[in-house]
Amino acid sequence: MLGQNYSKDMDYRENVIQFMSWNKIAFSVSGFLLILAVIMISTRDFYWGLDFTGGTVIEVSLDKPANLDRIRSRFKQDGFTAIQVQNCGSSHDLIIRVPLQEKYHDTAVRSQIINSIQSFTQEKVIVKRIEFVGPRVDSELLIIGGAALLSALIAIFLYITFRFEWRLASGTVLALMHDLILTIGALSLFQIEIDLTIIASLLSVIGYSLNDKIVVSDRIRENCRKRSYSSSYYITNLSITQTFSRTIITSIITLMMVLVLFIFGGTMLRGFSLTMLIGIVIGTVSSIYTSSALALQLGMQLSHFTHNKEGKATEE
């Protein structure tokens, strides 16, 4: 049980942080955030980008380097709030993505966009190409992607079951689903534009979160085999304490790198980096609390780790 007392012959010399004493609060907060995420997804939907909706791509060239921020501000003043502007190859070349849902794909509107650039920059604008692009991700591909994600979670469950134990595997997979839902809920809450880079960031978040959880699970298995006199509650606290500094240092370093990308990466990478920032924080917290606490709730015991394939107790 989660609240059982430690064994009399337990080594009290170790400075063990009582993480699991906060498990009820952690579960309550996680449950509240999950409900909030589902409500956000249901009511606000997502801000789908050009990769999902289709639209028009306009590529132009200027005589002088373009100031992207000022051009974006000018477009907003002219009422083109959803247009994406970025450099293409050099600071003189611009690529303008016009989303289909905003009905900016009419010929007259395209001319207005080009005239807006020309009047603002007071330069000659050379149009290299104007073409319509369809959505690269349709409903069929979304279904395939969902099936691939489900298959990945099943494969992760089977791997951790084979490598560790099915209760730890269940806790890990449920925690990964928890991380993914909360991150997606944040995308809906903040109306972060969903494009293919966001999909890549979500996959990166899953991989990062899984790595943290595997480290904790491996330490739990190791301690269970070495300390057969302890309780599973104590072993979980001990294992998280031993890996805590590694988890926090890794998270801080990764967050610093992603924060640099968020600040200096420009508008086109802002959604990717923001999703990574949110996902790393959620994944770090769930690695400490959610996955291990779920395994304890599912009945994880030391005896599940202290027997080898022949059924004999593993020696220390």
Q: Are residues 276 and 221 in the same domain?
A: yes
Last residue of a domain, one of 81, 105, 133: 133
Instruction: State pLDDT tens for residues 72-106.
Output: 888 888 777 777 787 776 777 887 877 765 555 56
The alpha carbon dihedral of 20, 25, 29, 34 has a sign of: positive
The Cα 156–Cα 15 span in angstroms is 32
Q: Are 197 and 275 spatial neighbours (Cβ–Cβ below 8 Å)?
A: no
Q: Are residues 102 and 173 in the same domain?
A: no
Instruction: State pLDDT tens for residues 11-55.
Output: 444 588 888 888 888 888 888 999 999 999 888 888 777 777 777
Last residue of a domain, one of 73, 106, 133: 133
Residues 6 or more apart whose Cβ sits within 8 Å of residue 298: 167, 170, 171
Q: Are residues 124 and 145 in the same domain?
A: no
**CA proximity to 50, closest of 195, 226, 166, 169:** 195
The number of distinct structural domains making up the chain is: 2
pLDDT tens per residue, the chain (316 residues)? 444 444 433 444 458 888 888 888 888 888 899 999 999 988 888 877 777 777 777 888 887 787 778 888 888 887 777 777 877 767 778 878 777 655 555 666 777 788 788 777 777 778 887 777 666 665 666 677 677 778 877 888 888 778 777 888 888 888 988 999 999 999 988 888 787 788 888 888 888 888 888 888 888 888 877 776 678 888 888 888 998 988 899 999 999 999 998 888 776 788 889 999 999 999 998 888 888 888 888 877 766 666 544 344 443 3
Range of the domain at 109: 55-133
Q: Are 261 and 273 spatial neighbours (Cβ–Cβ below 8 Å)?
A: yes
Q: Are residues 178 and 223 in the same domain?
A: yes
Last residue of a domain, one of 96, 113, 133: 133
Residues 6 or more apart whose Cβ sits within 8 Å of residue 69: none
Residues comprising the chain, all counted: 316
Q: What is the pLDDT of residue 124?
A: 78
Q: Are residues 122 and 29 in the same domain?
A: no
Q: What is the pLDDT of residue 265?
A: 76
In a domain, 185, yes or no: yes
